Homo-oligomer: A and B are copies of this chain.
Amino acid sequence: VKPVSGAGPGGAPLLGGSLGDVGEDALVRAVIGRYRPPPPLLLVPAGDDAAVLDVHGPLVVSTDTLVESADFRRDWSGGHDVGVKLAAQNFADVAAMGARPLALLVSLAAPADLPLGWATALADGLDDETARAGAFVAGGDVSQSPQLVLTATALGVLDGAVVRRSGARPGDVVALAGRTGPSAAGLALLLAAGSPAAAAGLAPSASALVRAHLAPRPGYAAGPDAAGAGATALIDVSDGLLRDAGRVALASGVVLDLEPAALAPPADLVTAAAALGDGEVAVEWVLTGGEDHALLACFPPDAGLPAPFVAVGRVIEARDEPGVLVGGGPWSGPDGWHHFA
């Protein structure tokens, strides 16, 4: 339903060209043209020095970056996929404070030979996932770079209390909204097969797992819903369940004891692991896989868990030091994703 963005400065169609062919101003016009009309609270939209929003009360802000090669591959991900992923990881951080997504700003640093069609597909993906989050794209920036690097900043608003990482107390229920593991499984399938098409043939569940890796679609409402239900701590699981649970444990000065039965890998992960010839890896995907952007929360023992939260453990006292246990004992495998490691 979105129009092709018209013609370039010399009347040539834009979508066949590269960024170098069309130049900055035409690129900005083409990209802005992909976004849905903003709501009235965007007082000044993209196109001026800055955007102006009508905000009242506490504002939640977060920024996150995707780097080609490190975070995505253009032979695996279309521009739309990358746009969805960039919006998702930013809004997940906003939801993880208990906030409702409000707006997104996007910086595109791109080589001059990037096809314009890729940049407009990126804008479409950003716009789609931003709309799915109930937010809008408020503005952005383009610049030239040998490396394709995308940074977004998400804004959100709090309707109730902010939920930090530091409020978990012994006796709380540890709960998860959304799944962990599909993105890591999808990546493993892609690495084994070499392409999304080849990966899809590895197992019946493979295609959906690959999609979960390339373009995650987290549930953002779980964040404000957790806040409304009295959550004591909340975090976006972006670097792996064990690693992010460890951050809650450290900030709260407690131990999170995860229940192995609640974290048993579902059938789609088990069959994908079997297809890769390593049945054991499915548990690892669940415990250490990042980028699904599930939300991990702690709730007082008497709080009802709002859907889709599911109990996955208990908060206990830290006798020695804060940390994470699985079934009362330490987990001996890797704990998740480390940048610069």
Contacts and interface: CB of A to CB of B under 8 A. Distances in A.
Interface of A: 19-20, 22-24, 27, 43-44, 48-67, 69-71, 92-94, 96-97, 99, 103, 105-107, 109, 112, 138-147, 149, 151, 153-156, 158, 162, 164-165, 234-236, 251, 338-341
Nearest to A147: B147
Tallying the copies of this chain within the complex gives: 2
B60 A154 contact: no
A151 B63 contact: yes
Contacts of A59: 52-55, 59, 155
Contact of A139 (B56, B61, B140, B142): B61
A105 B155 CA distance: 11
- Tell me whether chain A's interface is mostly helix, strand or loop, or mixed: strand
Nearest to A234: B49
With a 10 A CB-CB cut-off, give which of A43, A62, A93 has the most chain B CB atoms: A62
A291 to B, nearest CB: 13
- Among A54, A63, A236, A341, the most chain B Cβ lie within 10 Å of the Cβ of A63
A141 B67 contact: no
Contacts of A43: 58, 162
Contacts of A236: 49
A49 B96 contact: yes
Contacts of A93: 49-50
B24 A339 contact: yes
A331 to B, nearest CB: 18
A145 B70 contact: yes
A321 to B, nearest CB: 14
A321 B155 CA distance: 38
B24 A338 contact: yes
7 contacts: A20-B341, A50-B94, A52-B97, A53-B58, A61-B105, A63-B141, A143-B339
